[in-house]
Chain A
């Protein structure tokens, strides 16, 4: 049995989760990573994707996050998401809305660098759209 540690998922609007967990899978920008207790201190940015949280009770909760970063310490993990929703509450329509918004932003983007970044973001969103939501 893995050791439990504190995990917090916060978005600018509210604190979504603050609980003892044994395992968290984070969609880091450079690839998914699993965080367990006593992880080396790490700071990473995250891309849009699914955070899967395994509670100390063994229950697994999933949340969809849209970018942000994670602050990992041996004693705990804090995920600062720009926007986050429980996976069960995310609908295809809501996601499509975000994709549309991102597309509109690309059309308006002035400089090249910004545009690349947005296109990357859009790609990640599209991945999410295909993979995460069944049906």
Chain B
């Protein structure tokens, strides 16, 4: 049985923890709003890009000279997994759900006899994946120092990916990140970015709607756009990830705050009980002492 003093100390420490989690929740909420705005601001560009590429792709379908980024290398032996996670923990299942998805994917590919290469974005993913796939990790990018995620950072990752692709280091690239659905739900997602895949329905509608003039040629625009698209897709994933991270952190911290509250209640209850017991005990001692006289 802990003494009164112990209980008092524990209550104080849980209270301090609660203050911290509460503050973290507030910070996450504020950052979440910013991250969400950024993700929304980036949406028109990404959507347009996809639309334009889809129609270009439809126009180029069956073209044997289509750029490799679009048609792929024709093999699927070497897979590159780009795993984007958070830089920090304390965000509930955010990092682990992305990592679990990536790990399952990697293990499945390895079981099929494929080669797996991993590029991690974000410190957490790197730390955890390094334990199981140490020799598979080819590169590691961290934005720990970066305050506001910009297109520059996404471009940096994209350049690395493209350099690997141009060197023939992999055939298929898949991007892992958490899609932001709402503050309480973030879905770990795998998206194939090389060779590019578009929803065919969308391509059909845009392709038929307009007969474009291309300046310079279709082929040149396509060659110009495809690498850009990689950067845009990565940028979008990073922003979604960022918003998801703060969403997850917010709900995790909310839970933690509530748990701390429950704990304080319980501790206060047993503290009071024990205090009562002690008072009763002292009274009994006094009374029985008086009776003995």
B-facing mask of A11-53, CB < 8 A → 1, else 0? 1111100000000000011100000000011111100000000
Cβ of B44 within 8 Å of any chain A Cβ, yes or no, is: yes
Q: Is the interface of A mostly helix, strand, loop or mixed?
A: strand
Residues in chain A near residue B213, CB distance under 8 A: 40-43
Q: Is the beta-carbon distance between A80 and B49 smaller than 8 angstroms? A: yes
Q: Contact: A41 with B48, CB < 8 Å? A: no
Number of interface residues of A (CB under 8 A): 23
Interface flag for A106 (CB, 8 Å) = no
- By a CB distance below 8 angstroms, the chain A residues around B150 are 13
Contacts of A30 in B (CB 8 A): 215-216
Task: Judge whether B48 and A78 touch: CB under 8 Å.
Answer: yes
Which secondary structure dominates chain B's binding surface?
A: helix
Closest-CB distance, A114 to chain B (whole angstroms)? 9
Do B48 and A11 touch (CB < 8 A)? no
Q: Which residues of B contact A40 (CB under 8 A)?
A: 213
CA distance A78 to B42 in the complex (A): 14
Query: With A13-B151, A82-B228 as given contacts, are A45 and B45 in contact (CB-CB < 8 Å)?
Result: no
Chain B residues lying within 8 Å of A29, measured Cβ to Cβ, are 215-216
> Are A73 and B215 neighbours in the complex by a CB distance under 8 Å?
no
Residue among B45, B154, B210, B212 making CB contact with A11, cutoff 8 Å: B45
Contact yes or no, B225 A69, CB < 8 A: yes
B224 touching A43, Cβ below 8 Å: no
User: B45, B49, B52, B214: which has the most chain A beta carbons within 10 Å?
Assistant: B45
Known contacts A8-B44, A45-B221, A83-B151: A13-B38 contact under CB 8 Å? yes
Is A71 close to B, CB under 8 A? Answer: yes
Render B143-185 as a binary contact track against A, CB cut-off 8 A, 1 for contact: 0000000110010000000000000000000000000000000
Interface residues of B in 93-130 (CB under 8 A from A): none
Which chain A residue lies CB-closest to B231? A12
A45 to B44: give the CA distance in the assembly, Å. Answer: 18
Nearest-Cβ distance from residue A122 to partner chain B, whole angstroms: 17
Assess whether A12 is in contact with B215, with CB atoms less than 8 Å apart. Answer: no
- How far, in whole Å, are A14 and B40 apart by their CA atoms in the complex? 8
Q: Does B290 contact A (CB under 8 A)?
A: no
CB of A55 closer than 8 Å to a CB of B: no
Chain B contacts of A71 at CB under 8 A?
Answer: 48, 52
Asked if A99 lies at the interface with its beta carbon under 8 angstroms from chain B, I say no
B residues contacting A by CB (< 8 A) are 38, 41-42, 44-46, 48-49, 52, 56, 150-151, 154, 210-216, 220-221, 224-225, 228, 231-232, 235
Other than the known A12-B154, A29-B216, what 17 A-B pairs have Cβ atoms closer than 8 Å?
A: A10-B44, A10-B45, A12-B231, A13-B38, A14-B42, A15-B44, A43-B213, A44-B221, A45-B216, A45-B220, A45-B221, A45-B224, A69-B221, A69-B224, A71-B52, A73-B210, A80-B48
